[in-house]
Amino acid sequence: MPMPLKNDRFLRALRREPVDTTPVWVMRQAGRYLPEYRATRAKAGSFMALAQNPELACEVTLQPLDRYELDAAILFSDILTIPDAMGLGLSFAHGEGPQFARPVRTRAEVERLGVPDMESELRYVMDAVRVIRRELAGRVPLIGFSGSPWTLACYMVEGEGSRDFATVKAMCWSDPAMAHMLLETLARSVAAYLSAQAAAGAQALMIFDTWGGLLGPAAFREFSLRYLSQVVDVLKSDIHARDLPLILFSKGANGHLAEMAATGCAALGVDWTIDLSDARKAVDGKVALQGNLDPAVLRASPEVIRREVRRVLDSYGNHPGHVFNLGHGVTPEVDPEHVKVLVDEVHAYSRILRAA
Ligand code: 1CP
């Protein structure tokens, strides 16, 4: 029998139920800004060796929880595990950006792609989920995650990170049928991947559509939102995932919050370019919101961090359904003490807000 949760604020907030204080976690909370993370990665030898070792992946997942009063853990892995399992050959050059040995460019290459087998080719991810759930022993809930079909396609076609992902966008315009074939395979893979993480013990699920905002409105609907929606539909009728809250995060797509909320997800991640009060109006209170402090604020002084945390909490106001987070991942040069300032201020100030 799994242990009952000692801290369920995060899950309660996602269900828009009342909580004693606003739950908080930080995107990329396990990462290069932590010296203990860098030490474990050095021990593993490389980022992929770390991600593929369930015990070490568990160790780095728990590191930020030992430092800060976080209300959720997130599986330590990467969104690019799916394309790697499809045979594209993932590596990280000198711990920097990702690179694929075999990017997908032609129709034949798209046709050859299949949905990976979750309990063999991606078994290391499911094993990590099982080990982390055991070691968490009910401290906080565990978030499983995937990239969105569109964001995975960006990396698979480009072959590496990029500012504009012009190669995949060119494919969308020059051969839309081929782009859709790729996105269909990815949507089935993402749904199967998240279902398998739910079966292994994940307690909430999040989809990162980091590059949704590169698309204009019509293209966003056609190449990103349509497939996010497909994944939500599959998960809603999936025996393992149907009771888990699902968070969708499309960075730079604040013009689409209402449409995204209409997919039936539980919550939306929000970047820092919109006030949460406006985001709440856009979704009409129908989903929870997660966000949205600008990660660059963590480079400022503790006084400024506290002030900006309060600004985000005030903007959401005293309503149910807020999970505090950054608007994107914490960056490597951030002082770990500044993350503590953020987490503690979220809890302290949101208690005051509730009492007011
Ligand atoms: O050497 C290292 O340590 C590399 C840094 C790193 C880390 C810490 C990478 C390479 N991936 C991760 C872990 C990771 N990636 C997590 C772990 C859980 C957490 O603590 O949050 C998660 C959720 C991701 C998700 C991820 N990977 C996204 C989506 C979220 C986002 O930040 O937009 C994306 C786009 C990636 C690709 C990727 N993997 C790694 C890097 C440096 C990148 C970005 C490359 C680029 O800029 O295009």
Which pTM was predicted?
0.97
Task: Output the tens digit of pLDDT for each of the chain's 356 residues.
Answer: 567 899 999 999 999 999 999 999 999 999 999 999 999 999 999 999 999 999 999 999 999 999 999 999 999 999 999 999 999 999 997 757 999 999 999 999 999 999 999 999 999 999 999 999 999 999 999 999 999 999 999 999 999 999 999 999 999 999 999 999 999 999 999 999 999 999 999 999 999 999 999 999 999 999 999 999 999 999 999 999 999 999 999 999 999 999 999 999 999 999 999 999 999 999 999 999 999 999 999 999 999 999 999 999 999 999 999 999 999 999 999 999 999 999 999 999 999 999 88
Query: Could you state, in order of their start, the residue ranges of all structural domains in the chain?
Result: 9-355
Asked if 32 is an active-site residue, the reply is yes
Question: Can you tell me which atom of ligand 1 is nearest the CA of 75?
Answer: 18
Q: Is 123 a catalytic residue?
A: no
- CA 77–ligand 1 middle distance (angstroms): 8
Long-range contacts, 229-236 (Cβ 8 Å, 24+): 229/263, 230/149, 230/187, 230/191, 231/148, 231/149, 231/187, 231/190, 231/191, 231/194, 231/207, 232/263, 232/264, 232/265, 233/264, 234/187, 234/188, 234/191, 234/195, 235/191, 235/194, 235/195, 235/205, 236/264
Q: Which fold has domain 9-355?
A: TIM Barrel (3.20.20)
d(CA 317, ligand 1 centre) in Å: 31
Q: Is 15 a catalytic residue?
A: no
Is 227 annotated as catalytic?
no
Taking the centre of ligand 1 as the mean of its atom positions, its distance from the CA of residue 212, in whole angstroms, is 16
61 CA: nearest ligand 1 atom = 20
Ligand 1 cavity residues, CB under 6 Å:
27-32, 41, 47, 74, 76, 78-80, 92, 95, 97-98, 145, 161, 208, 210, 329
